[in-house]
Structure 1
């Protein structure tokens, strides 16, 4: 799949023409541009080439455990200089959703990291304590790497009291380069479903197309001008398909080639990694 002559026959003229229309690339982060704390060797070259071609890019992530400042620092340590305007996280998407659809909800019981909780507080929300007397308007469940059992039980209690129940993202696990499984928001919600009999009222983040809609609104783009690149079928690719943007699955993270072929509908492009997608863009720009 790495030979450019093979690519010319592998991809249809229609697809190459569609790639040529791309003005912006939305990039998943963990599993796509890096894995855990390890930057992929092709990432910086990809970003540099996009700038050379006049193609913008944004970083999208379902991982809300870090604040915007945390992510900027995380990328800077890897050698990627980014700005806040190039980011959109599921925490930000959840905050936007709450402001638009539930402006009456000000008090939140949050299962999330301290940095994510601070983002909500900075956006005007009040984070309630682990107490039956400190009643919230809604429960927010996220990728909580600081999860405390008593707070999980308190969340279940408020969910049983029919409070609005929002999940920031559906991911079951978070990619990592460490020898362990990082239990993500979807798995935490599964435990709450077993305990309460309730699923979240709303699940924000990929594959919700509103994350890509926000990117398009910000840059004045049409779906045909955006490519969504990620390593997960059930978040990145499904979101791209729902938003009607170009869907690009990279195999540098969670999904295997065999699993990718079993998906219906399949991604528009299945590439080994960003380097291979860059080669295809260069072919399209000829």
Structure 2
């Protein structure tokens, strides 16, 4: 045990006392998914061991994603297929954040014109909303735009029309592209909204998802935690880390996805912790917890 403590002490020897105190408070780790625990369809080999080490240390975790294109059930199946068992309470997507926002701030809104995948539309319908058709006579109460990998040009034009009519306009997430391990650029919600802006000269009324701090609310409520007891881990400074800072949580940047050290140097958003990957962050967190 004494040798083990010396090993952990070596890991934290260069860590500031202030950061050590913050790490000691962590009871839950909120994990971005694509670019953090896997890349596209490829699971990082260190992810299962990292998750098991958190469990063994009594630290709970959950998965957050700005990608609303899949429903909770789809994500759980995707994780299970990769060898990561999870339950619905461990998942929170920007689609659910948007649903929670509409129910809280626009309780009379029921009919939505949604630019989104069938899975995303199904998530809204399962929560009591009605998806309107691509029809000028089927007027919605609001427009919701997400990461629509099934995007049809006519529906994009219809969304732009309803946006131009000054209906409430909500975007699920700000991401310009979705990470992938394939030789292609996946145009995400932010880029689709930029297209609508070009046609209508109008921005969304609100953009949910990270970095909006409400993305952490579901975890706070479910786990009964305070923001300082959560570490938000992700591969993007402008969404993952910025949300953590906005929510007063610990912001951890991993370099396994989008962000590079060049991005860190150029960004005004400063991560509390920078690690090569989640395994390296796990080593640091457990070292602090065990010393």
Q: Provide the TM-score with structure 2 as the length reference.
A: 0.95
User: Which consecutive residues of structure 2, in runs of 5 or more, have no partner in the other structure?
Assistant: 1-6
Tell me by how many angstroms 1:283 deviates: 1.7
Correspondent of 1:47 among 41, 51, 59: 51
The whole-number CA distance in structure 1 between the counterparts of 2:87 and 2:155 is 34
Alignment correspondent of 2:222: 218
Alignment correspondent of 1:193: 197
Q: Provide the TM-score with structure 1 as the length reference.
A: 0.97
Runs of 4 or more, structure 1, over 2 Å off, are 3-10, 261-265
C-alpha offsets along residues 226-263 of structure 1, whole Å, 9 cap, x if unaligned? 10000001100000000000000000000001211332
Secondary structure of 2:253's counterpart equals strand
Q: Alignment RMSD, CA only?
A: 1.3
Alignment correspondent of 2:106: 102
Paired residues of 1:260 and 1:270 also in contact (CA < 8 A) = no
Alignment size in residue pairs: 284
Correspondent of 1:73 among 72, 77, 97: 77
Alignment correspondent of 1:251: 255
The whole-number CA distance in structure 2 between the counterparts of 1:198 and 1:207 is 21
Paired residues of 2:12 and 2:288 also in contact (CA < 8 A) = no
Correspondent of 1:35 among 28, 33, 39: 39
User: Which consecutive residues of structure 1, in runs of 5 or more, have no partner in the other structure?
Assistant: none
The whole-number CA distance in structure 2 between the counterparts of 1:77 and 1:166 is 32
Moved more, 6-15 or 208-217: 6-15
C-alpha offsets along residues 190-230 of structure 1, whole Å, 9 cap, x if unaligned? 00000000000011110000111221121111111110000
